[in-house]
Amino acid sequence: MNTLGFDMHGLKIFLASITLILTSFSFADEQNTTFFTEEDILGELPIVSSASRMNQSMSRVPASVSIIDREMIDASGAVSWVDVFRLVPGFQAYYINGNRYGIGYHGFGDQFPNHMEVMIDGRSIYEPSFAGIEWGSLGITLDEVDHIEIIRGSNAPAQGSNAFMGAINIITQKPQQESGVHQRFTVGDRQTREGHVRYSGHLDKFDYRVSVNYQHNEGFPSVDTGDDQGPLKDGKESLGFNFRGMYTPNVSDIIDLQVGFNHNNMGWGDVDHPDEYSRVDFESQYQSLKWTRDLNSTDTLKLHAYHNKLEGENFVNQGLLSDLLTEELNTPIAPEDVNPLLNLFFDVDIDDQNFIVGSKHTVSERYDFELEHHMQLTNQFRTTWGAGIRYDRVKGQTIFGHNDDETLTSRRLFGHVEWQPFHHWTFNTGLMLEDNSLVDTIASGRLGANYHINDQHTVRVAYAMGKRSPTLIEAKEFNADIIDNQLLVTAIRRSESNIDEERLKSIELGYLATFPNDGLTVDVRLFREEVRNAFDVYQQSADIGLPLFNPAENFSVRGNVAEWEMKGAEIQVRYQPNHKTLVTGHYGYRDVDGEHISSYEPVFGLSTLSEHGPRHTTGLLLNQKLTHSFDASLNAYHMTDADWKDGNEVDQFVRIDAQLRFNFSIASTQGSIILIGQNLGEDYMEHGENNVFESRYYLKVTLDLP
């Protein structure tokens, strides 16, 4: 449905035409443009901290790093987190439903990719009740992001188990970076209505920011072909509040307080069964307190404590057992006949009652406390060490088969050393020790050597060994629909009782080149990863000692039944010759040789992992300032075919997005009007065959008031 009321055909032609003139504007203006110096355009290479927990230039880190800055986010026309992470080589980013996202690195299309640590300003948002990220309940929007650091490759030696394959640190804007009121309003297809308002103020030594976010959309369009026609009902409505305050009482100390709350109601279900969609209601909150003290000009001490909480409900009342049995048996069953009928066939004592499936009430909490100490021991030698303790609590009858709390206390000790014995060499080593009641003490380590050919060219070799402890749900899940704890109706998923840690070995060869006079940066990664003892599910009879309503029912049993080897190459390029032009591009190739056990009985079965993910992904982003007030961008993305693990087999597609921005100033008010067109070509399938991504159009208006 076209909610903007525009002529969509004419608009599509207009946006496509804008992209065709980008190049001509760029070349026409080239003769009259005064090129900026190296310092004006690039300055030094970006400083990142997520790879080793210490500030390092990109040329000295022991891992491949991607940076998505504010300029890239604005130029991309991104309206969701999926759009953002499609700018990164090697990433799989897809819509599971209209508002549920799967985002991972070197993944296979899981509903909850579980091998990526995601943080907001260093606070982990990895959700123990899902073993993944619930992106719809973050509480922040893209408007609040300053930049994103992405570690491509195992970062378990620095961030622990959940960074098994990589890590994301979303860095939000500091209150000191702006003053006054910022407003953004968006309308568009899918009945999209969004609003973001924030205010940044300053009181002597205290800087603060308050923001409110609202989002509404109607998800994917209705299914109009096949047997499951009708609306998907995967829309969303959410309201969030965030506060950040930074207090600097002196030149040595910074106290950073962040709190937030988010209410999110959205459609949830299996895309293969649109008629089974239901509403899920999430309420999330967080509190984070960080104290940083500069001990001297080189040494720093950090203390960070935070608390996350997520509560959710997602259940459907299927109706009275008497009505369901009447429909199943095609003969009238009175309420008083339910007990004798079930007792006759299953030897149970069950009266007529409502049959409720799904999660009535799930609670997940995490408390974390960490100390981190940075030391410069000599001019060539510096180190970071620290320790932390984490307490997870999860409660949910449909998660564990009981309504009691399941808890887990984890401890960690970590350290990282950077050594620069010569001008041309930087060596890094890191180690993480973790301990909890689910596994024995596990260790993850990394060694890296960077050879600086000169100030512009660096070659890197890194070797990492990672281990990943299961989360509470991965170790103890028991998910089934059971009536009165007596009759098993539907078996869903459970975990083996002796699940062990996952294990990874990886080696990479990297090359980083900068050409300051041309405004060009090139990063290449060649990798080989070997994963053993990985979690996957196999099918097993649901016979657990209870009568079975359906004797053929099977559990999906989680165990250490998968292994694979993945090798490939990734390249990312950023070209910014002047202040008017930005070009970024990436390419990722991977080759997978792997399998998992799909069944033990009645016959032993193996399934391949080789096709669960695209072999090639490519992206290109072009942004050009046309005049003082206008700029335009083109964002192209290509993915080859994939048979997603928790989705369907989808064909390759090319997606073209375009954006036209008009910037204006009225007195002291700054603003912009932005027109975005997504997928200007043919429709394609997102993760599942019923998730049809059509052409979409959005109108954004931003206002900045002093």
Q: What would the mean pLDDT of 177-194 be, rounded to a whole number? A: 95
Domain count, the chain: 1
The lowest-confidence range among 52-56, 344-348, 464-468, 524-528 is 344-348
Tokens of 189: 């297809």
Binned at pLDDT 50, 70 and 90, residue 309 comes out as: very high
d(CA 653, CA 684): 7
Question: Is position 36 within any domain?
Answer: yes
CATH number, domain with residue 247: 2.40.170.20
Q: What would the mean pLDDT of 598-618 be, rounded to a whole number? A: 93
Q: What would the mean pLDDT of 578-605 be, rounded to a whole number? A: 95
Q: What local confidence, expressed as pLDDT, does residue 548 receive? A: 92
Percent of the chain exceeding pLDDT 90 equals 81
Residue 352 corresponds to which amino acid?
A: D
Binned at pLDDT 50, 70 and 90, residue 29 comes out as: very low
Q: What would the mean pLDDT of 680-694 be, rounded to a whole number? A: 93
Q: Is the dihedral of CA 348, 353, 359, 365 positive or negative?
A: negative
Percent of the chain exceeding pLDDT 70 equals 93
Q: What are phi and psi of 155, to 5 degrees?
A: -120, 20
User: Given the structure tokens 């190739």, which residue do they identify?
Assistant: 589
Whether the per-residue pLDDT at 25 is higher than 60: the answer is no
Q: What would the mean pLDDT of 154-175 be, rounded to a whole number? A: 96
Binned at pLDDT 50, 70 and 90, residue 24 comes out as: very low
Q: What local confidence, expressed as pLDDT, does residue 138 receive? A: 86
Residue 463 corresponds to which amino acid?
A: Y
Q: What would the mean pLDDT of 576-600 be, rounded to a whole number? A: 96
User: Given the structure tokens 């980013």, which residue do they identify?
Assistant: 93
Question: Is position 621 within any domain?
Answer: yes
Q: Which residues, 6+ apart, have CB-to-CB distance to 460 below 8 Å?
A: 62, 448, 449, 450, 451, 508, 509, 510, 511, 512
Do 196 and 139 contact (CB within 8 A), yes or no? Answer: no
Burial per residue of 654-672, b for 16 or more beta-carbon CB atoms within 10 angstroms, e otherwise:
ebbbbbbbebeeeeeebbb
Q: What local confidence, expressed as pLDDT, does residue 35 receive? A: 35
Beta strands (DSSP E) in 423-468 are 425-435, 442-454, 457-468
Q: What would the mean pLDDT of 421-440 be, rounded to a whole number? A: 95
Q: What are phi and psi of 631, to 5 degrees?
A: -140, 155
Tokens of 282: 């999430």
Q: What local confidence, expressed as pLDDT, does residue 349 receive? A: 92
User: Given the structure tokens 């980083």, which residue do they identify?
Assistant: 512
Do 191 and 140 contact (CB within 8 A), yes or no? Answer: no
Residue 71 corresponds to which amino acid?
A: E
CB atoms closer than 10 angstroms to residue 314: 20
Q: What local confidence, expressed as pLDDT, does residue 11 receive? A: 44
Q: pLDDT, tens digit, for every residue of 226-263?
A: 667 778 889 999 999 999 999 999 999 999 999 999 99
Q: What would the mean pLDDT of 554-573 be, rounded to a whole number? A: 97
Whether the per-residue pLDDT at 152 is higher than 50: the answer is yes
Q: What would the mean pLDDT of 200-215 be, rounded to a whole number? A: 96
Q: What local confidence, expressed as pLDDT, does residue 328 receive? A: 86
Q: What local confidence, expressed as pLDDT, does residue 82 receive? A: 96
Residue 348 corresponds to which amino acid?
A: V
CB atoms closer than 10 angstroms to residue 402: 13
Q: What local confidence, expressed as pLDDT, does residue 225 receive? A: 72
Please give the angle made by the CA atoms of 18, 24 and 27, to the nearest 5 degrees: 140
Whether the per-residue pLDDT at 290 is higher than 60: the answer is yes
d(CA 55, CA 517): 26
Do 644 and 108 contact (CB within 8 A), yes or no? Answer: yes
| pTM recorded for the entire structure | 0.91
Greatest alpha-carbon span in the chain: 90
Binned at pLDDT 50, 70 and 90, residue 271 comes out as: confident
CB atoms closer than 10 angstroms to residue 189: 20
Q: What would the mean pLDDT of 115-144 be, rounded to a whole number? A: 92
Question: Is position 79 within any domain?
Answer: yes
Q: What would the mean pLDDT of 214-220 be, rounded to a whole number? A: 95
The lowest-confidence range among 28-42, 411-425, 625-639, 688-702 is 28-42
- Three-state DSSP state, 142: helix
Residue 324 corresponds to which amino acid?
A: L
User: Given the structure tokens 């990312």, which residue do they identify?
Assistant: 572
d(CA 660, CA 680): 14
d(CA 246, CA 121): 13
3-state percent helix, strand, coil for the chain, nearest multiple of 5: 15, 55, 30
- Three-state DSSP state, 671: strand
Do 228 and 690 contact (CB within 8 A), yes or no? Answer: yes
- Three-state DSSP state, 553: coil
Q: What would the mean pLDDT of 68-94 be, rounded to a whole number? A: 96
Binned at pLDDT 50, 70 and 90, residue 17 comes out as: very low
Cis peptide before 602 (omega within 30 of 0): yes
- Three-state DSSP state, 93: strand
Q: pLDDT, tens digit, for every residue of 475-523?
A: 999 999 999 889 999 999 999 999 999 999 999 999 999 998 899 999 9
Binned at pLDDT 50, 70 and 90, residue 45 comes out as: low
Whether the per-residue pLDDT at 31 is higher than 80: the answer is no
Question: Is position 2 within any domain?
Answer: no
Q: What local confidence, expressed as pLDDT, does residue 529 receive? A: 97
Do 523 and 90 contact (CB within 8 A), yes or no? Answer: no
Helix (H) or strand (E) holding 147: strand 145-152
The β-bridge partners of 449 are 427, 461
d(CA 290, CA 255): 6
Q: Structural domain of residue 202, as residue ranges?
A: 8-705
Q: Which of 196, 197, 368 is nearest to 290 (CA)?
A: 368
Burial per residue of 437-447, b for 16 or more beta-carbon CB atoms within 10 angstroms, e otherwise:
ebbeebebbbb
